[in-house]
Amino acid sequence: MEEESSQVVDHTKTIHDMEEAAEEDRDPESNPLNQSLLKRSRTLSSNPLAMVGAKVSYIESLDYEINENDLFKHDWRSRSKVQVLQYIFLKWTLAFLVGLLTGLIATLINLAVENIAGYKLLAVSHLIQKKRYLTGFIFFTAANFLLTLFATVLCVCFAPTAAGPGIPEIKAYLNGVDTPNMFGAATLIVKIVGSIGAVAAGLDLGKEGPLVHIGACIASLLGQGGPSNYRLKWRWLRYFNNDRDRRDLITCGASSGVCAAFRAPVGGVLFSLEEVATWWRSALLWRTFFSTAVVAVVLRAFIQICSSGECGLFGTGGLIMFDVSNVTITYHVMDIIPVVVIGISGGVLGSLYNFLLHKVLRLYSFINQKGRLHKLLLSVTIAVFTSACQYGLPFLAKCQPCDSSLSETECPTNGRSGNFKQFNCPAGYYNDLATLLLTTNDDAVRNIFSTNTPTEYQIPSLLIFSALYCILGLFTFGIAVPSGLFLPIILMGSGYGRLLGIAMGSCTNIDQGLFAVLGAASLMAGSMRMTVSLCVIFLELTNNLHLLPITMMVLLIAKTVGDSFNPSIYEIILHLKGLPFLDANPEPFMRNLTVGELADVKPPVVTLRGVEKVARIVDVLRNTTHNGFPVVDEGVVAQVGVGNGATELHGIILRAHLLQVLKKKWFLSEKRRTEEWEVRDNFTAVELAERVGKIEEVAVSKEEMELYVDLHPLTNTTPFTVMESMSVAKALVLFRQMGLRHLLIVPKFAGEGVPPVVGILTRQDLRPYNILTAFPHLAKKKEGEKEN
């Protein structure tokens, strides 16, 4: 299963393609109980298909809503103060463990990357000093080739879900989409080892995105007690056997991953709040901050240990930190002009990058559909091309004389790091392009961010550097290795930011190194469309509050400009994968459509009676793929003002609970309601939280088909409902903010012969593409508004 379902961004299709494929092979979900519906030429599509790696996979939603049935209410009432304290203590303990393990693994990754890449670069530098340029190139390329091949083989053969950044899938999960195999143990291991290989190979990708995914994997595994096949059955963990608490843990994991990548605990919390989390509350804010604080302490402790030279080549490097706290930053009113220019440039270039990357990922999808061999060939081809550029392009740069104020140990340098690399230059000279290219990505960021170096980098070298990383940033992301977008965008942005600083040198007092910082921030805002979290991350990155006003201005301008062209890069990836992510802002046409009209174009809702026959339950489960069914009682005692023989909506029952009933053979020989003790003797709240198998795995005899089941105790009696006159836009906001899986539509008028529920809305029903497919006139109206 791990091989078949994957998450690599490069194997993508548009949602349009997947809907066409679903039309050809329509599953029972789109036509429950094989009943025809002739109200529209096309019905509202609800095919839960999305691109998870190399194939279209069946996607389910998560149950973030509290299922308030009789068992849940009894379990909640019977909890003692000690059990409540256990639950609270375990929440904080797991938050601590998430931070601790994420910090330890981040340190391990950085140690491995810095040592592997460091010794590789030292060997290359040694060969270059001996003028053995061809041997150095062969060694450099071969080492990167093998490291990339190693990372690709792991992703392609063992855990395809480990490829890519993982952030779009985390966004989808926290939005309520359950993507298969995204947070498994195999994914975690391959993500860690694959990140080490890919980053050490010098590819234009970062470990920041993978660290976010790693933190989420750790959180998920801790919450469920380990891998799916080897779970711990510790009774305390029963409290976390639900999607709601696991969602909170994964949010803590994502925050911890960002903190581990940038040493930015506050930035990590804000990243989850602004970018990945759909649902938020103050208690979750405290726990995510606690997790990121633990990560920061762990990283700080290891940096102090390694500063004494006990970690090989790992020192202050490996974790990006650009300290400009000792730099005097002065800017005046006239400096607003270059700040506005760099903000506009970042927005335009960021949206252009998103547009081009979209095209490249579409191209990669066709290449990777041909099989594993083509994935491997694509990855190693990019690795060889990257190595050739990093090694060969510095020969085009002119050697620059070292500044007389620098000592011989500072300029030139021949180690793995340093701001003035000698490369092929004579004594007393350095190669500025080799300083940026023939080094690790983290060191390249530190070098180009360096302040008080107005003459260190020449314009031709910066042009080559910027052009190269723009090309590599487009073609490296999407290959079958763990990869992040943060660092490539930082490198691209810092290059053009420094060029703008040189061009405006006489018009501004801002240092060129700070222009590089602002360029990186503007491009990230122009591509990722984040503002608050990015601002705090860059402040924690640079350790200087004086940058706050101009950083805020750059980010706001870049995001505003970028939003006028296309969505953020993560939204584009979500769209390419077909993951049913619900955006916070409804489309304008949704305000002109009611949920009742949506119910009209859906197949008739399938309901069950409070005491239902086993044969009816089996028939419904076999002929539909719905995950929730309204439970209605006919002929109940009428209320005042309502005619006799009224029909009551008792609630909604989940498919998983019906399967539990069939598996346990909890049947009645007569049609009656059960007592409360009868249910508690056969079911527990913990059992009902488990996701069981399929109806095909349940055996029911002919005699049992004639028996009955009382569904009342297992029914969620407090489902969210909306009036059929409510607009789709308002229903979408409710559905998203409450983290629902089902939203019942009730009639506006009650009376004899009026059904208590007229339809159910699910995630697929609220997707704009599916609505426009069912209502073509809205699509034409939307196109007309765009033309005008």
Residues 573-629 pLDDT 10s: 998 888 889 998 899 889 989 999 999 988 889 999 999 999 999 999 999 888 899
Query: Is a pLDDT exceeding 70 seen at residue 274?
Result: yes
- Which residue is listed with tokens 């069939």? 662
Residue type, 533: S
- Reported as a single tens digit per residue, the pLDDT across 381-409 is 999 999 999 999 999 988 888 877 777 67
HEC profile of 684-723: CHHHHHCCCCCHHHCCCCHHHHCCEEECHHHCECCCCEEE
Predicted confidence at residue 784, as pLDDT, reads 58
- Reported as a single tens digit per residue, the pLDDT across 641-671 is 555 567 889 999 999 899 989 988 889 988 8
- Reported as a single tens digit per residue, the pLDDT across 537-552 is 988 887 778 788 899 9
Pick from 168, 172, 152, 250: which is nearest to 209 by CA? 168
C-beta separation of 431 from 439 below 8 A: no
C-beta separation of 169 from 7 below 8 A: yes
Whether omega before 755 lies within 30 degrees of 0, making that bond cis, reads no
The band of 783, judged by pLDDT with boundaries at 50, 70 and 90, is: low
Q: Which residues contact 549 (CB under 8 A, 6 or more apart)?
A: none
- Reported as a single tens digit per residue, the pLDDT across 742-781 is 999 999 887 777 889 999 999 989 988 888 888 888 876 6
The mean of the pLDDT values for the chain is 84
Residue type, 534: L
Predicted confidence at residue 467, as pLDDT, reads 93
Q: How far is CA 309 from CA 282, 304, 316, 352, in A?
A: 42, 10, 10, 44
Predicted confidence at residue 510, as pLDDT, reads 82
- Please tell me what DSSP assigns to residue 463: H
Q: Which residues contact 716 (CB under 8 A, 6 or more apart)?
A: 65, 67, 68, 69, 651, 652, 653, 654
Per-residue pLDDT, averaged over 109-128, amounts to 91
- Reported as a single tens digit per residue, the pLDDT across 347-383 is 999 999 999 999 999 999 888 888 889 999 999 999 9
With a pLDDT cut of 90, the percent of the chain lying above it is 46
Predicted confidence at residue 47, as pLDDT, reads 53
- Reported as a single tens digit per residue, the pLDDT across 309-334 is 777 777 654 455 555 655 666 677 77
Per-residue pLDDT, averaged over 55-74, amounts to 78
Q: Which residues contact 616 (CB under 8 A, 6 or more apart)?
A: 608, 609
Predicted confidence at residue 15, as pLDDT, reads 39
Reading phi first (left if > 0) and then psi (alpha if -120 to 50, else beta), residue 302 is in alpha
Q: Which residues contact 698 (CB under 8 A, 6 or more apart)?
A: 659, 662, 663
Predicted confidence at residue 329, as pLDDT, reads 67
Q: Determine if the pTM surpasses 0.85.
A: yes
Bridge partners of 49? 58
- Reported as a single tens digit per residue, the pLDDT across 125-182 is 899 988 899 999 999 999 999 999 999 999 999 988 899 899 999 999 999 998 878 8
The band of 469, judged by pLDDT with boundaries at 50, 70 and 90, is: very high
Q: Strands 60-61 and 55-58, how do they pair?
A: unpaired
The neighbour count for residue 323, using CB atoms within 10 Å, is 13
Predicted confidence at residue 307, as pLDDT, reads 77
C-beta separation of 390 from 159 below 8 A: no
Query: Is a pLDDT exceeding 80 seen at residue 53?
Result: no
Kind plus residue range of the DSSP H or E element containing 678: helix 676-682
d(CA 48, CA 22): 9
- Reported as a single tens digit per residue, the pLDDT across 32-52 is 333 322 233 345 545 555 544
- Reported as a single tens digit per residue, the pLDDT across 170-187 is 999 999 998 878 898 999
- Reported as a single tens digit per residue, the pLDDT across 709-738 is 999 999 999 999 999 999 999 999 999 999
Bridge partners of 634? 647
